[in-house]
A = this chain, B = another copy of it.
Amino acid sequence: MANPATNIDNGLKSSDASRPREPIASPYMPKYPDPMSNISNFKIIESTLREGEQFANAFFDTEKKVEIAKALDAIGVDYLELTSPAASEQSLNDCRVISNLGLKAKILTHTRCHMDDAKLAIDTGVDGLDVVIGTSSYLREFSHGKDMDYITQKAIEVITYIKSKGLEVRFSTEDSFRSDLVDLLSIYKAVDKIGVTRVGIADTVGCANPRQVYELVRTLRSVVSCDIECHFHNDTGCAIANAYAALEAGATHIDTSVLGIGERNGITPLGGLLARMYTADKDYVMNKYDLTQIRDVENIVAESVEVTVPFNNYITGYCAFTHKAGIHAKAILNNPSTYEILNPTDFGMNRYVSIGHRLTGWNAVKNRVEQLNLGLTDDDAKHVTQKIKELADVRPLSLDDVDTLLRTYHQAKDQGLHASILDKIETPDMIAAMNSTPSN
C-alpha cells in the first residue's frame, strides 16, 4: 500500500517517486517534461470484471472471469477491479476465487461506502477496496451542511476500518465533473488527511473534456498528497484523451476495460490507452506491459460478450495498419514512421499496404514490382499504375489481380509486346479470368 506521506515534500506526488524524470526523447512530445506529469509513470486499474460487467451483453461466469483475469495479468496490468461481493452470491465467490489465483496484479473490489459492504469485501481476500459514494446527488444537491458532514463522517469511518485491516482503500465520488467543486475538494482533503490510499475522480456520464480534466486534477493535486485515480466514460469520445490529460496533470492511476466495455458505450479502452501511452513514452510502456497480448484478451472478451471487435478498434481493428492512398503508401514503403506512430510488430500485428485501387500511386506499385523481383523500370510501373487506376474505377483489384497485371506486363516485355498488352485488358474481370488460368 502506498504511503501518501512519502510524497508530500518533493512535490512530485507520484506513486513511484524513485523513477527519475529524464528529458523526453519522443519526437511527438514537448521538448521539456512537466514535473507534474505522470505520463511516464502511471498505473492501470483494469475494470473489465467490474465496469465491464455493467456492459449490456456481459455475463461472465466464474470460469470466464478467471480466464479474463489471467489474460489481463499476462499483459501486466497493475490492478484488477472486481464487482462488489454485495451484488450477488456469485460475485462474492468470484472475489474469493480471483484473490486466490496468485496473480501479479493486485485485486480490488468496488463497493459502496458502507460498513456492511466493506466487511463483506475484506473477508474475500482482496488486496484493496475501491469505495464510492453511492450517488452523485449528494454532492450536487447538498452544499455545505449537515449532509456533507454526514457523508464525510461515514467515509472516514469506512476508510479507517479498511485501513485498520491493512488493505488499500480508494475513496471516489461519482459524477465528479458536475459536483460542487468546494464540496469535492473538502471531502477529498478530509479523507487524504486520514491516510486514504487514493482518491478517485469519475466522469460517470461522459461529459468531461480534456482541458476541464486537466484543471480539476491539477487543482486536486495541490489539495491531496495521496494517489489520484481517474475513471472516464466515453459517451462523447474523450475517454482516452481525458485519461491522458489527467496523467499530464498528475493523476497516477487510470481505469480501463477491454474494448472499453461498460455502462452505455463504455470507458477508456485498455488497448486504446496503451496506444496513446506508447506514443508518449514507448520505453515505459514496452518495459511494463506485454502489448502482444492485447489481441488475445480482446478476442476472449469480444467472444464472451458476443460483440465483434470494431473495424476501427485501436491496434487490433483490421484496418489499423492498412495504408491506401498512393502518397501514404509510397512514404510508408520508404520509411514506416512517416505515416505510422505505432509499430505494428510491437503489438504482434502486421502492416498492409493496399495498392489495387483508384487512389494508388506508382511508387507503391514499383515497390510491389521489387517484391516480385520482376525488374521493371519506373516507366513500366507508371504504365501499369495508370491501368490499375482505370480498371479500379470499375471495381477494386485484389493483390492477386495486381500481381497478374504486373506478371503479364513483365512477360509481354520479354517478348517485346508490352507497349500494347495493357490495352487488351479492358475490365477487371479479364484479369480475374487470367488469375484462374495461369499462362505458365
Residues of A participating in the B interface, judged by any CB pair closer than 8 Å:
27-28, 30, 53-57, 59, 83, 87-91, 134-137, 175, 177-178, 204-212, 214, 234-242, 244-245, 248, 259-261, 263-266, 269, 272-273, 275-276, 278-280, 307-308, 310-314, 317-325, 327-328, 331, 338-342, 352, 354, 357-359, 389-390, 392-393, 395-396
Contact = CB atoms under 8 A, between A and B. Distances in A.
Contact of A359 (B53, B266, B323): B53
Contacts of A242: 241
Nearest to A354: B56
A73 to B, nearest CB: 24
Among A209, A214, A236, A328, find the residue whose CB has the most chain B CB atoms closer than 10 A. A236
A324 B275 CA distance: 29
B339 A263 contact: yes
Given A91-B393, A259-B312, 13 more contacts: A56-B319, A59-B396, A87-B359, A88-B358, A205-B339, A210-B210, A235-B314, A237-B239, A237-B269, A263-B324, A263-B339, A265-B313, A265-B314
A59 B135 CA distance: 49
B236 A276 contact: yes
A263 B327 contact: no
Contacts of A278: 236
Contact of A210 (B91, B211, B328, B354): B211
Contact of A211 (B211, B314, B342): B211
A238 B241 contact: yes
B357 A59 contact: yes
Contacts of A54: 324-325, 328, 359
A260 to B, nearest CB: 6
B90 A358 contact: yes
B312 A265 contact: yes
Contacts of A308: 308, 310-311
Contact of A206 (B136, B178, B311, B341): B341
A342 B137 CA distance: 19
Contacts of A325: 54, 263
13 contacts: A53-B359, A88-B393, A89-B389, A91-B358, A137-B331, A209-B210, A209-B244, A210-B245, A236-B275, A260-B312, A264-B321, A307-B311, A308-B308
Contacts of A392: 88
Nearest to A236: B276
A319 B359 contact: no
A399 to B, nearest CB: 12
